[in-house]
Amino acid sequence: MSVDYAPAPAEPARPILRSLTRGFFCRCPACGEGKLFRAYLKVSPVCAACGEELHHERADDAPPYVVITIVAHVVIGGLLAVEVAYQPPVWLHLAVWLPLTVILSLGLLPPVKGALVGLQWALRMHGFGGDDPDALPDGGLRPDGQG
């Protein structure tokens, strides 16, 4: 006895680069029109333009790690280049590099988080169209609230 399984319906493609770009510019990864964030780093639960559910995102600690890596490379590289070329006093380094570090960090957090949400959407992670391993069979979430 053989069982014939129907092939799974083809899902529309979600280009990764386009989704990353839309997310980086803080736009909905699905349509590119709606705002991704309703506050500084708070993702809108649903896109106002296309209705795509965005509440599935789970960027967690990834955006700060990426931002720290980018900012550290820029600031340390710049600091070392300026020190070797001009040897300014320490107070001048502090006056330049500390504010630059804060400004770059705060400025890059929303675009980096948006890009990571776009990546999750494109890869159908965490309920963005794929299976969510943390969801219970009845469609609910785990009791600890982590899913």
Q: How confident is the model at residue 126 (pLDDT cuts 50, 70, 90)?
A: confident
Q: Is the pLDDT of residue 49 over 70?
A: yes
Is the distance from CB of 104 to CB of 74 less than 8 angstroms? yes
Q: Is the pLDDT of residue 36 over 60?
A: yes
- Least confident range of 3-17, 50-64, 98-112: 3-17
CA distance 120 to 58: 8
Is the distance from CB of 15 to CB of 122 less than 8 angstroms? yes
Closest CA to 16 of 145, 125, 143, 132: 125
Q: Where are the domains of the chain?
A: 16-122
- Least confident range of 5-9, 75-79, 80-84, 93-97: 5-9
pTM above 0.85, yes or no: no
Closest CA to 44 of 126, 137, 131, 113: 113
Average pLDDT over residues 8-25: 89
Q: Which residues, including other chains, have CB under 8 Å from residue 111's CB and lie 6 or more apart?
A: 23, 24, 25, 26
